[in-house]
Amino acid sequence: MKAGIVGFRGSGKTTVFNALTGLHAEVGGFSAAEAKNLGTIKVPDERLAQIADKVQPKKLTYAEITFTDLAAASPAGGKGFPPAMLNDMKALEALVHVVRGFDNPAVPEPVDILRDARNFESELALSDLMIAENRLARLAKQGAKTREREHMEAIKSHLDQEKPLRTMDLSEEAWAELAGFGFLSLKPCLLLVNVAEDKAAAPLPAELGTFAAAQRLRVMAISGQVEMEVNDLETAERSEYLKSLGLDRPAKDRFIREAYDMLNLISFFTFGPEEVRAWTIHKGTKAHQAAGKIHSDIERGFIRAEVMDWRDVVVLGAESKMREAKKIRLEGKEYIPQDGDVIHFRFNV
């Protein structure tokens, strides 16, 4: 999964990037529009760890999330984002919009979470509106009333009402046909409010929740500075420190769950003496498509999926014992893998 961390200058988004990835990218520099940081985190999964404890493989491989920390945007609304930033965002699967919820001496404007959230959403919609208008102008010259033209007219009408495209009802087939335009307000987006240390466990304003629901945004709070400090603590000290702030676990764990839910993702596992591994797929993916995540040859030559419950693997371990206990069921290519399935794919090339 590839997610982009975005936000206005002074929001502390690079601090959040460091908190999530454990890296130490330079903060507070208000870098150039083309500058960006890259980082990857492993997705913790206790189920996978338990399987590995039983199987004792040579290698344990967790699922990963890759973050791109884009250069900060100007807080002045209505002027449009730099083209380089827009192009970078189009290449991402999801956006994480970091909003400033703390006093920053380098930013003259007072804290206003709702204002910044609205302004950023408006910039995304403005970018999409320009794309739709330019495309409609070209289609009008061609004269024909095509299905694409009808879709673009509907998109323009929706954006004219200051509504993001993620709130627009259009068929999956239609969105697939229009995917090449890279509409930004269509992307899943998590509104991540970066708050001060003393607000780390405080509830967010009710009006922000109302706005997020209307825009189909997920929303959560994090103290980027706190989480950076947590990363530098010994494991034994982390829990005590978090409890002192009213938190029960690191924000990274909560963020990963939000990100998975936002993108409608689940994990299935494969295991053996060489490797125990998690694979990420979208809910609703069919068995043969899930096999393609491992290798395209497995998808092409798919014969069947041998599906196990991860709990049974933890108890029995070896595949031979699973067969003896009749804990393996056979599924065809139309089977929809469930979160936590352990799957052995049979294929022929």
The pLDDT tens digits of the residues spanning 180-225 come to 999 999 999 999 999 998 888 888 999 999 999 999 999 999 998 8
Domain limits of the chain?
Answer: 2-261, 284-347
**pLDDT band at residue 275 using 50, 70 and 90 as cut-offs:** very high
Nearest residue to 344 (alpha-carbon basis) of 290, 271, 259, 281 = 271
**pLDDT band at residue 50 using 50, 70 and 90 as cut-offs:** very high
The lowest-confidence range among 24-33, 140-149, 188-197, 310-319 is: 24-33
With residue 200 as reference, give the H or E element that holds it: none
**pLDDT band at residue 77 using 50, 70 and 90 as cut-offs:** low
Most confident range (mean pLDDT) of 18-27, 80-89, 317-326, 332-341 is 332-341
Residue 247: per-residue pLDDT:
80
Domain 2-261: state its class.
alpha beta
Asked if the domains at 2-261 and 284-347 fall in one CATH topology, the answer is no
Q: What is the number of other CB atoms lying within 10 angstroms of the CB of residue 119? A: 17
Strands annotated E in the chain:
2-6, 36-42, 59-61, 64-70, 94-101, 189-195, 218-222, 265-270, 275-282, 302-309, 329-331, 341-347
Q: Is the pLDDT assigned to residue 28 strictly greater than 70?
A: no
Residue 76: per-residue pLDDT:
54
3-state SS, one letter per residue, for 217-260: CEEEEECHHHHHHHHCCCHHHHHHHHHHCCCCCCHHHHHHHHHH
Residue 285: per-residue pLDDT:
96
**For 52-77, what is the mean pLDDT?**
87
CATH topology of domain 284-347: Ubiquitin-like (UB roll) (3.10.20)
CA distance 83 to 79: 12
Q: Is the pLDDT assigned to residue 78 strictly greater than 70?
A: no
CA distance 141 to 150: 15
Residue 34: per-residue pLDDT:
59
Above pLDDT 90, what percent of the chain? 63
Specify the pTM: 0.86
**For 307-322, what is the mean pLDDT?**
93
Q: Is the pLDDT assigned to residue 32 strictly greater than 70?
A: no
Q: Is the pLDDT assigned to residue 279 strictly greater than 90?
A: yes
Q: Is the pLDDT assigned to residue 31 strictly greater than 80?
A: no
Is the CA virtual torsion 207, 158, 73, 262 positive or negative? positive
